[in-house]
Amino acid sequence: MGSGTSTRHHSAFQNAERTFKAAALIQRWYRRYVARLEMRRRCTWSIFQSIEYAGQQDQVKLHDFFSYLMDHFIPSSHNEREFLTRMFTEDRFAQDSEMEKCSDYESIEVPDSYTGPRLSFPLLPDHATALIEAFRLKQQLHARYVLNLLYETKKHLVQLPNINRVSTCYSEEITVCGDLHGQLDDLIFIFYKNGLPSPERSYVFNGDFVDRGKDSVEILMILFAFMLVYPKEFHLNRGNHEDHMVNLRYGFTKEVMNKYKIHGKEILRTLQDVFCWLPLATLIDEKVLILHGGVSDITDLELLDKIERNKIVSTMRCKTRQKSEKQMEEKGKANRKSSAQEPIPWFLPQSRSLPSSPLRLSSYKAHKTNRSSSIPCGGCLDWRELSRQVRSSVELELERCRQQAGLLVTGQKEEASRSAAEADSEAGELQKPTQEEWRQVVDILWSDPMAQEGCKANTIRGGGCYFGPDVTQQLLQKYNLQFLIRSHECKPEGYEFCHNRKVLTIFSASNYYEVGSNRGAYVKLGPALTPHIVQYQANKVTNTLTMRQRISRVEESALRALREKLFAHSSDLLSEFKKHDADKVGLITLSDWAAAVESVLHLGLPWRMLRSQLVNSSADNMLEYKSWLKNLAKEQLSHENIQSSLLETLYRNRSNLETIFRIIDSDHSGFISLDEFRQTWKLLSSHMNIDITDDCICDLARSIDFNKDGHIDINEFLEAFRLVEKSCLEGDTSECPQATNAKDSGCNSPGAC
């Protein structure tokens, strides 16, 4: 009997031992499985962020280049000066007859057939909720109500301080939301889950309401409506995308013009004015600071609270104090003499690739010597400081145009009839932001936290700085704050704590890169100021996918974007591969492949981990790089009947070309007029020291105007670029415009291009 009991105990022990071993094996397998998925997710995330930040760098470099051209071009007439003020400065909307008709929203008639939402002022809560329902049903708000709402919004914003003070004593809790980026579903989901704004439920939206998404207009209308209904409970901060120059590249300008073809220009002009009046930060109970980007080692909240924030119309360009007209002319003559030595712009027909211009080189050197030089157009180099000084007459003309355009505060419009001398006097007295004021605003809108101590240039974005835990701690101690809330960065979980939980990043646009790529989040603060994070997914499809399915879907999208990036640099990659192929056998090691790709793209990605998805496995660890590049091209050429090298160029430059088109299209008509084209060519030919007549420019414009309607649209603009690239590739060196001597070519060279 005892023996039987012992046997049963032994058998039970063995069964338990096997069970524990099986559980341990399953646990080990699951941990490895989850670790592999997490590694894939992180690689995917790195791809998306690297490509996004590379695009921001392109935006900054492109704007820097055009600003540089403007600084070194002296207008020869009033028309040229007026064109430049529209093209490269904040006053991009000249008052033509069409604009004058649209300037008074009360004169805009709403037809009886209009079935969308209607607004009357002062707004009531029902008006705001009606907007949400109408936009959910894909209805569009009439332009009259849009302009009326923007007009009332500006009147309210003008009265607000730079830093809003909010208290939890007057509401149960305060909800802070991050970037929305035109994703209306996320905003509707937040209101559905958290409740509509009310006296008991305050909100702070922390910038970047527009761009990238398709419903930026609708988001603005809802946010502005609730701000007018609940001015003490609903607060908005400015983000780096509340900037008309940034909007040119990232879609908001295009969205407005597509939705409001007749009154779009007036809406954009009014929005430009509204954006620069948005508050810069919000302070809760004097303990929690909310701002869009971050801080730096020079952030001064007292100075930020005092500056005239409406002077910072765009963080892409600093407009500092003015110098004399005589200095401008002297500098302009010197610049004209040295212009022949400047490199030809990469995007013009004379250039087939992106050269290392002095602008990029000097910017790089500045990054190593001065942290603040990394902010957009923020270099403190001598030549750039000098170049700004030549713009005195343009600045004076700009201020006169601003007054004539009706950009003054309400109640001052009757002063527009003053004499020209009085207008000039006031324009000369109106101060522009100092370099220090501008840097303060750029830093809080563009900066990101880092794990290391200190403060350094944010070379990844091309703007603001990276600030470490010590910088955060110094600011908190100086102003007796508990912690910071910022946005500006997409996070996989929608939020992230750093700097010993003293910095909280909140990002509210779920599925930002791809469906399933990230959650959205918002944070709720009660009287104890303890952050309560709420996460969500606004897309229902995401909730039906397993973790593996989500990661696979996002990974596929990221790799597709990365292959496009690789294809766009095929020529540069081929040259780099050949450097590693010393024996000229057409083979390189996979390690050399990874090093070459990084040296060309500069994305900072783990290429060795990614090579299994990008490169077919090789038994001898060697890659036939020419075949790999051909296979890369086949993926992009499958739906394009274009020569591989041409498509490569378009892939690389399309975003920049579209931005250039919108810059030249200074009145946002969707077309480049002959006058806009002529003035732009004068600017560029002056930089390249090419003598070109008006007749030649007209011939060139007519050759690009393929449908002969008198205007150049975006498709004709891109097609002209493609044809020029094709002629350069098919012809020999002597036939390419790059090799043509400007003095000998006369009118033929531009015409051929």
Q: What integer pLDDT is reported at residue 504 of this predicted model?
A: 97
**pLDDT top residue among 49 and 214:** 214
**Can you tell me whether residue 294 is helix, strand or coil?**
coil
Q: Average pLDDT of the chain?
A: 76
Q: What integer pLDDT is reported at residue 395 of this predicted model?
A: 53
pTM over 0.85, yes/no:
no
Q: Is the pLDDT of residue 5 over 60?
A: yes
Beta strands 455-457 and 483-486, pairing class: unpaired
Q: Give residue-wise pLDDT tens across range 640-660.
A: 444 444 444 544 555 666 666
Please give the domain boundaries of the chain with CATH numbers for all domains.
141-318+434-542 (3.60.21.10), 548-639 (1.10.238.10), 646-727 (1.10.238.10)
The pLDDT > 90 percentage for the chain reads 37
Determine whether 241 is an active site residue.
yes
φ, ψ at 680 (rounded to 5°): -65, -40
Q: Give residue-wise pLDDT tens across range 467-492.
A: 999 999 999 999 999 999 999 999 99
Sheet-wide strand order for 495-498: 163-166, 281-284, 288-290, 483-486, 503-506, 495-498
Under DSSP, the state recorded for 154 is H
**Can you tell me whether residue 546 is helix, strand or coil?**
coil
Q: Does the bond joining 122 to the residue before it have cis omega, within 30 degrees of 0?
A: yes
Mean pLDDT of 618-623: 76
Predicted confidence band of residue 17 (pLDDT cuts 50, 70, 90): confident
Residue 552, CA distances (Å) to 512, 540, 563 in order: 16, 17, 16
CB 315 within 8 A of CB 383: no
Highest average pLDDT, of 255-264, 329-338, 661-670, comes from 255-264
Sign of the dihedral through C-alpha 206, 207, 213, 215: positive
Q: Is the pLDDT of residue 453 over 80?
A: yes
Highest average pLDDT, of 515-519, 548-552, 674-678, comes from 515-519
Q: What integer pLDDT is reported at residue 659 of this predicted model?
A: 67
- Asked which of 232-236, 570-574, 607-611, 640-644 is least confident by mean pLDDT, the reply is 640-644
Q: How many CB atoms lie within 10 A of CB 459?
A: 16
Predicted confidence band of residue 78 (pLDDT cuts 50, 70, 90): low
- Asked which of 140-149, 311-320, 421-430 is least confident by mean pLDDT, the reply is 421-430
Q: Give residue-wise pLDDT tens across range 409-430.
A: 444 433 433 333 344 444 444 4
Q: Is the pLDDT of residue 496 over 50?
A: yes
Mean pLDDT of 384-388: 44
Q: Which of 127, 142, 241, 499 is catalytic?
A: 241
Q: Is the pLDDT of residue 86 over 70?
A: no
Long-range contacts at 69-72 (CB < 8 A, ≥ 24 apart): 69/683, 69/684, 69/687, 70/391, 70/683, 71/335, 71/384, 71/387, 71/388, 71/390, 71/391, 72/332, 72/335, 72/336, 72/339, 72/387, 72/390, 72/686, 72/687
Q: What integer pLDDT is reported at residue 423 of this predicted model?
A: 40
Mean pLDDT of 667-696: 67
**Can you tell me whether residue 284 is helix, strand or coil?**
strand
- Asked which of 261-275, 327-341, 519-533 is least confident by mean pLDDT, the reply is 327-341
Q: Is the pLDDT of residue 138 over 90?
A: yes
Predicted confidence band of residue 718 (pLDDT cuts 50, 70, 90): low
Q: Is the pLDDT of residue 380 over 60?
A: no
How far apart CA 608 and CA 306 sit, in angstroms, is 51
Predicted confidence band of residue 65 (pLDDT cuts 50, 70, 90): low
Q: What integer pLDDT is reported at residue 363 of this predicted model?
A: 37
Q: Give residue-wise pLDDT tens across range 211-249.
A: 999 999 999 999 999 999 999 999 999 999 999 888 988
Q: What integer pLDDT is reported at residue 634 of this predicted model?
A: 74
- Asked which of 157-161, 365-369, 457-461 is least confident by mean pLDDT, the reply is 365-369
CB 229 within 8 A of CB 127: yes
φ, ψ at 177 (rounded to 5°): -115, 150
Q: Give residue-wise pLDDT tens across range 198-207.
A: 999 999 999 9
Predicted confidence band of residue 120 (pLDDT cuts 50, 70, 90): very high
**pLDDT top residue among 562 and 633:** 562
Mean pLDDT of 426-443: 76
Q: Is the pLDDT of residue 739 over 70?
A: no
Q: Is the pLDDT of residue 390 over 60?
A: no
Q: What integer pLDDT is reported at residue 642 of this predicted model?
A: 45
